[in-house]
Structure 1
């Protein structure tokens, strides 16, 4: 790619020009979104450290040998958060506050920090704090439900970028492909060309992995594919014989912290007349559920309480479903019971979030996020140095379209399979093709002498 892009467009093969053209358009369409996703994703990799810095006065408490009854935490949190307690994150250590999610009547949520030893509220913040805001920006859901559709579009086009970039990088008998920086003058395009090629070569695979494993967050593909996995029996384990079948939770009872496999899955038990957080915690502790874990408190009286371990490695996933009245364990869902599709999902998400393989995993994902920005900056610099003297919507500096239906068919052969796999990406591709055809027609009309 690095050497071929120095040639005049007419010296390049038609197929090369066509792929280069779509690589250019894919970058224009998707790179701003990828830059936003990379920035917020890089920040979210350090979620725990940022939370400790921002909310340290609320999180840190004096360790003590005893605790007040966990049932005393709930009214204090409900009063401080001015709403109904939905779940409680039980901390791993005694010097950390319990985090209680409170759902308010206006639909908003709060996180209330409670000292487990005294029952005293140490602070209140918006649900999830600053990192929850970063997360909603990363998923684009902060800008409205419809904007989440762009996650799938951006991820699909990122795959198109990777596929076309690999094609452009190959030497095809001209010169050896670029594997080291050969140009050192930052004022000239060859430097940015080499930098772009090298970043794409060395971190492009990470960016591709992030794009593919980010698909579960998309509103269309993620929901449909996860539904397919469950329908094929590749997802959550079957409901235990002693309990009723899995049910789909209503919005107010959807359990948190249970991962994608058990998302929205609830079990019905006996009606709880005197539900007790302390009782459920005692059951979880006696079953050896490692802390930290989240205890979900259902609003519906006969729903089981879902108690989910907060894990870093996918294979540590475990969720207990506890009858709120009797304390009986209705189900104990573990990694070994998941289907192959669920395991692939959970593993991909854990790696995507930089948790599965420890610090090295996080640094590799961080390199991918930095790589997105380097690709964007180097691509912009290359375009700036070869831009047309007079820019216009019809003269953006894209490589000229080559003639011939066979060449266009060859290019579509690269991108169409991806667009079939990701429907929203396919629709955006059709829109891009239509705009390209209209733009070429208008440009030809302008250049035809009168």
Structure 2
């Protein structure tokens, strides 16, 4: 097996950074590939959902309209539970979707014809795209996996930073802007493909990783707490309304975005609430469809109606007294602080909705780039792997000791480890493991 020889000897700093680039890829590429695949699918959530549930989600448009209270009654009678939220569609040719909480603790999504209130059918909660979403967030692996999202995102940024360091020419013409080697059977081809893909997709990958941080249990919560403490987050409730409160999980409003997530508005109940009253108020307020109505189980809470938007500037949520129809609060994007605006904007771009098809295409390119980088990285390793992997060697690039070498690595990795603490903690674990493996290799004389 012929190994690629550079034009000039590689410096110790280069080999040290290369070593950590190798280990970073080894740690997170399986997770990144899963998240890239599911993220790419989620970019086409509307198209996939429409194709899978076409028979359930499409109805014959008619002038007649049944009372919204009948929609809820039909879903509850058919599925044997209580309606938690209602997605009112944009047009008369679409079914209403209602989330029903069942007595056994499960959830289902009911499809109801808005014209005659007939139950068309139901699916597991959220359907196929909910499964894709849970795979993307790794939550299917368990609650602990939410912390893995932050670790993976932090290491992805480290991969991009160290990759940029390795790509920098330094007088060498190694796949700088185009693939020069034409033989896929040789390592230089995969090296060039890896370098060029990283060059053009690296910025998008780093952006996806950074804007994915809001989904993390630690960093996302810390960021939102900092934004709130510095007056840069959600607005205060109107002076005439009750202050916002943090809801119990079952009463957290759906579809309100990350800034208003979990925010409810308590108030003295004037009587039993009605879905028809809330929807009539939303219509009078000129709230553009589609929107999500959240029905709290606590009768002392206002109902929430949130517009389902693609651009963050269209964000709007109404807090409505379900008995009288009075609007207690009307929250819009312009009222958010700069921190919350940046937060919401990053999420919208991450999901490919903010700037239309161009946005979606760029994010899709980043997802494809992750797979190309992973495949080309594995191929490069395979073509330079040690002849006997069983001797405790993975084929990681060797890095000579020295303060300059350590400075090169720490100068790139340490600031990111401080910015993302869970990534920093995983770095300490990785260093400890590397030290342990090195001691074992010396003890058992692996060569």
Q: TM-score, normalised by structure 2?
A: 0.97
Secondary structure (helix, strand or coil) at the match of 1:68 reads coil
Secondary structure (helix, strand or coil) at the match of 1:148 reads helix
Write out per-residue CA displacement over residues 41-66 of structure 1, whole angstroms, 9 at most, x where no aligned residue: 00011100011111011100111102
Shift, 1:149, TM fit: 1.0
Which residue of structure 1 aligns with residue 232 of structure 2?
234
> Does 2:21 match 1:23?
yes
Distance in 1 between residues matched to 2:181 and 2:286, nearest whole Å: 59
Secondary structure (helix, strand or coil) at the match of 1:102 reads strand
Matched ranges for 1:289-304 at <5 A: 289-304=287-302
> Does 2:278 match 1:280?
yes
Distance in 1 between residues matched to 2:23 and 2:64, nearest whole Å: 62
Shift, 1:269, TM fit: 2.5
Shift, 1:362, TM fit: 0.6
Shift, 1:420, TM fit: 0.9
Unaligned runs of 5+ in 1: none
Which residue of structure 2 aligns with residue 312 of structure 1?
310
Distance in 1 between residues matched to 2:339 and 2:308, nearest whole Å: 21
Shift, 1:406, TM fit: 3.4
Matched ranges for 1:14-53 at <5 A: 14-53=12-51
| CA separation of 1:438 and 1:30: change in aligned 2, threshold 3 A | same
8 A contact 1:270–1:324 mirrored in 2: no
8 A contact 1:80–1:124 mirrored in 2: no
Shift, 1:72, TM fit: 0.7
| CA separation of 1:261 and 1:135: change in aligned 2, threshold 3 A | same
Matched ranges for 1:406-421 at <5 A: 406-421=404-419
> Does 2:134 match 1:116?
no
Which residue of structure 2 aligns with residue 392 of structure 1?
390
Shift, 1:106, TM fit: 2.2
Shift, 1:214, TM fit: 0.3
Secondary structure (helix, strand or coil) at the match of 2:99 reads strand
Q: TM-score, normalised by structure 1?
A: 0.96
Say how many residue pairs are matched. Answer: 445
8 A contact 1:9–1:399 mirrored in 2: no
Matched ranges for 1:185-334 at <5 A: 185-334=183-332
Which residue of structure 1 aligns with residue 125 of structure 2?
127
Distance in 2 between residues matched to 1:446 and 1:12, nearest whole Å: 29
Which residue of structure 2 aligns with residue 342 of structure 1?
340
Which residue of structure 1 aligns with residue 105 of structure 2?
107
| CA separation of 1:239 and 1:9: change in aligned 2, threshold 3 A | farther
Which stretch of the first structure deviates more once superposed, 294-303 or 170-179?
Answer: 170-179
Write out per-residue CA displacement over residues 342-378 of structure 1, whole angstroms, 9 at most, x where no aligned residue: 1001100000001000011111111100100000000
Shift, 1:9, TM fit: 12
8 A contact 1:215–1:221 mirrored in 2: yes
Shift, 1:11, TM fit: 2.8
Matched ranges for 1:68-217 at <5 A: 68-175=66-173, 178-217=176-215
Distance in 1 between residues matched to 2:446 and 2:360, nearest whole Å: 56
8 A contact 2:174–2:192 mirrored in 1: no
Write out per-residue CA displacement over residues 297-339 of structure 1, whole angstroms, 9 at most, x where no aligned residue: 1111110011000000011100000011211101000010000
Distance in 2 between residues matched to 1:173 and 1:183, nearest whole Å: 18
Distance in 1 between residues matched to 2:189 and 2:437, nearest whole Å: 31
Shift, 1:403, TM fit: 1.4
Secondary structure (helix, strand or coil) at the match of 1:325 reads coil
Runs of 4+ aligned structure 1 residues displaced above 6 Å come to none
Shift, 1:81, TM fit: 2.3
Which stretch of the first structure deviates more once superposed, 398-407 or 7-16?
Answer: 7-16
Which residue of structure 1 aligns with residue 420 of structure 2?
422
Secondary structure (helix, strand or coil) at the match of 1:11 reads coil
8 A contact 1:270–1:323 mirrored in 2: no
8 A contact 2:384–2:395 mirrored in 1: yes
Which residue of structure 2 aligns with residue 443 of structure 1?
441
Unaligned runs of 5+ in 2: none
Shift, 1:448, TM fit: 8.6
8 A contact 2:175–2:195 mirrored in 1: no
